[in-house]
Chain A
Amino acid sequence: MTEKRKLGVFLCHCGGNISDVVDVKAVRESIEKQDGVVLATDFRFMCSNEGQERLQKEIRERGLDGVVVACCTPKMYEDLFRQKAEEAGMNPYLLEIANIREQCSYAHRFEKDKATEKAKVLVRGQVEKVRHLKPLEVKTAPIQPGVAVIGAGIAGIHASLLLANLGHKVTLIEKSPTIGGNMARTVKTFPTDDCAMCTLSPKMNEVYNHERIDLVTYAEVKEAKRSPGKFTLVVEKKPRYVTDACIGCNRCTEKCPVSTAKSPVSVESEWDQGLTKRKAIYLPFPQALPQLWTIDADHCFYFQRGGKCRVCAMVCPAKAIDFTMKPERLDLEVGAVIVATGYQEYDPTPLRLYGFGREPNVLTQMQVARMLDSMGPTKGTVSRPSDGRAADSIVMVQCVGSRGAPGDPLTHEYCSRVCCMVAVKHAQLIKKARPDTEVYVLYNDLRAYGKGFEEYYVHSMELGVKYVRGLPGKVRKEGARLLVDVDDMLTGRRLEIPADVVVLSAAMEPTPVDDLLKSLKLDTSPDGFVKEYHAKINPTETAVKGVFVAGCAQGPKDITDSISQAGAAAMSAAVFLGGGEMTLNPLVAEVDAALCRACDRCMEVCEFDAVKVDPEMLIAVVDETACEGCGKCTVVCPTGAISVRQFTKPQIVASIDAMAPMAVSP
């Protein structure tokens, strides 16, 4: 049963846009007769100040508790009219728009009579809908203060700093023993050739020392649970077996027997991309933060050989080695989460024609970045790993693992965006250091799309870097050198380029964090990167309210773009956290407890983790901080217990009936 309403209908002429086609007077006269309509009036411009004042005056004077404004699309002024109605003392959710412009006078402008008839129907439909609407209240819900940022590469670092500087408490969680991510390895950055560490290191220090940033390294998020306004994360800190007493003297590393000439066990350095070995107790790189050594238990003789080796403990002057350390569990409650888990370099081994993994002198760009580091494995010179000789001829191959044929299981279909400029950067760094080196870049399309990139690319040609359009068919071995066969697509010639080193510009792949994404209920795009809410206009938010994405976790990006997006993600998170409470959209699902039989179907179809069956009460409970109001659950509910406010079945049916040919006319 619906209560008796005092309804008002306001018809807008839109300065002729409507009234030149629709006979407004006829519509008014037809609607006046409808039950409960105490006022039907028309006006030249409802959206003008005068129109708004008139709406407010009538609401006040007649005590209207339901209004239909027949005008342009609700996308234009629904919010405005609702706000004005509220100011006049009416519940704003009792106002509906009848779209008699875009969907009537515009679309049917050559059929005035029919347009008028349709306008009558549309207005009637909305009047009946309004009669069935219920006043709604806009509620707020508290949000847990604090943000967790997952991943401490440049994106995570930047987002953390911005949020902390805004006054938010940030917990920055990093999987590896140090923060810094991939940027720390890249030596120099395009297009300015800035030293990567010189720009990154101050930010790392700032994060490390910030009073509002809690840095949790060598740790992983094991579990994430969302409840209204809050995320509860379970973080596991892996044991370093080195306590905070560590003074950074490096004696343990020097004496550790792993990876020595005599040792049967050697470990490839993650930092140097396998070009050097590291010990079982190590600091990843000199500027690593925190400056805490870590024992890699998977390779340490103490753990692998039943406690026989204790060399590090014996030489440590600070007594910082503790073999009994256990994983620690950290329970974290935050209001928002930023996923900044970054990327990893594609492993080109499956592309057998390029010989990576088989020929020692076939490298990836990240390995070359390490070689170009003056402190790196080859002290700044790109050299043949086979014999250590400086390379006189270097061939770079683009699009390795990127831009593959659709459906090819070995490669990715997407463009990794940065590899062109990485190749240009490395080619010219090589040319600047050793001008006699022959450097070829074999490319498909060279994408120098960013600020200063084209100039940088042209400059590399001035330095003598040779660009050949065409990707090689094969990399062959000939003596101590390699031969690269390529068809130059611009000249039509087949080239056979001798190379000391072949460098593969390998794709960017999302860091594998499937469990984390599953736990946070995040989706991935077909390319495997985290799916953003909207690729174009909402690239930092996700479908899970309160979870944001920054940097390469969302897709391939260079450092500039990662920083820009991290800033945007931080801003979105800050807006979301606001002053500690969120405004709830009232147009979401609600459950009639008397009808619910806890069958779980609403839960099964919900994309937003917004409805759960309370195990004790045995009824479905909607989390209004998460529900988006799509109404999927309302269709699958077998008892009609769940409905979306203002789109309930009786409300929609009222509109259908009112607009139908066989509607009972008043």
Chain B
Amino acid sequence: MTFEPEIAAFCCNWCGYSAADQAGAAKLTYPSSVRILRLMCTGMMDPYYVLRAFERGFDGVLVVGCHPGSCHYKSGNLQAADQMKRVASILRALGLGEERLLMTAASAAEGGVFADTATAFTEKVRKMGPSPLREA
């Protein structure tokens, strides 16, 4: 059986989550192992959630917010980008690989961007193999 990476996708309510909705409504596909969690804004995306997701066996974490300058709350996405940068260095230090975390943007109209990103990220994680924190 091929390895199916499990991805936790934290999406902001206004852009990322709506982009995922749009992808579905437009009948675009992406791997079903991408699990979407809705936040109001990526500004509330705590580094701890990333660590928790890996601790619980996810192989990759995707954070999808608004494009810079389009945040519904002005700058939540910028704070999230900073925070994710911080947590990426922790992932590196832990030997998990910072590539297992991706922060990106997709507007509510960019269902295609969401589907493509989710697909490409899943493939990347697939190549990296299962998270070392997964139970054997």
Contacts and interface: CB of A to CB of B under 8 A. Distances in A.
Interface of A: 73-75, 99, 101-104, 106-111, 114-115, 117-118, 121-122, 125, 523, 543, 587, 605, 607-608, 628-632, 634-636, 644, 647, 649, 652-653, 655-657, 659-663
A660 B53 contact: yes
A250 B53 CA distance: 79
A125 B35 contact: yes
A657 B33 CA distance: 15
Contact of B52 (A73, A543, A656): A656
Given A102-B21, A634-B44, A656-B53, A111 B76 contact: no
Contact of A659 (B25, B29, B35, B40): B35
Contact of B29 (A74, A108, A121, A635): A108
B56 to A, nearest CB: 3
A641 B40 CA distance: 19
A656 B76 contact: no
A585 to B, nearest CB: 10
29 contacts: A73-B21, A99-B21, A104-B24, A104-B32, A107-B20, A107-B23, A110-B29, A111-B32, A114-B33, A118-B32, A118-B33, A121-B35, A122-B36, A605-B79, A628-B73, A632-B41, A632-B75, A634-B46, A635-B44, A644-B44, A647-B39, A649-B46, A652-B39, A655-B37, A656-B37, A656-B49, A657-B52, A660-B53, A660-B56
Contacts of B53: 656, 660
A108 B33 CA distance: 10
A170 to B, nearest CB: 29
Contact of B44 (A109, A631, A661): A631
B73 A607 contact: yes
Given A108-B32, A125-B35, A632 B43 contact: yes
B39 A631 contact: yes
Closest 5 CB pairs of A and B: A631-B44, A660-B56, A102-B24, A662-B57, A630-B73
Contact of A631 (B33, B38, B40): B40
Nearest to A74: B38
Contacts of A125: 35, 37
A365 B37 CA distance: 56
Given A607-B74, A659-B8, A661-B58, A118 B40 contact: no
Interface residues of B, number: 44
B39 to A, nearest CB: 7
A630 B44 contact: yes
Nearest to B43: A632
A114 B44 contact: no
A607 to B, nearest CB: 4
A653 B43 contact: no
B117 interface: no
A630 B37 contact: no
Contact of A647 (B25, B27, B44, B134): B44
Given A108-B29, A659-B8, A635 B43 contact: yes
B28 interface: yes
B32 to A, nearest CB: 4
Interface string B75-114: 1100100010000000000000000000000000000000
Contacts of B58: 660-661
Nearest to A526: B69
Contacts of A662: 56-57, 134-135
Nearest to A588: B40
A653 B10 CA distance: 12
B30 A107 contact: yes
A12 B15 CA distance: 25
Contacts of A653: 49, 52
Contacts of A99: 21, 36
Contacts of A632: 41, 43-44, 73, 75-76, 79
A657 B56 CA distance: 7
B44 to A, nearest CB: 3
Contacts of B20: 102-103, 107
Given A115-B32, A635-B46, A657-B56, A75 B18 contact: yes
- The residue among B41, B49, B74 with the most chain A CB atoms within 10 A of its own CB is B74
A104 B25 CA distance: 10
Contacts of A635: 43-47, 79, 83
B56 A103 contact: no
Contacts of A111: 32
A657 to B, nearest CB: 6
A303 to B, nearest CB: 45
- The residue among A104, A607, A629, A652 with the most chain B CB atoms within 10 A of its own CB is A652
A337 B29 CA distance: 47
Contact of B28 (A107, A647, A655): A107
A462 B79 CA distance: 58
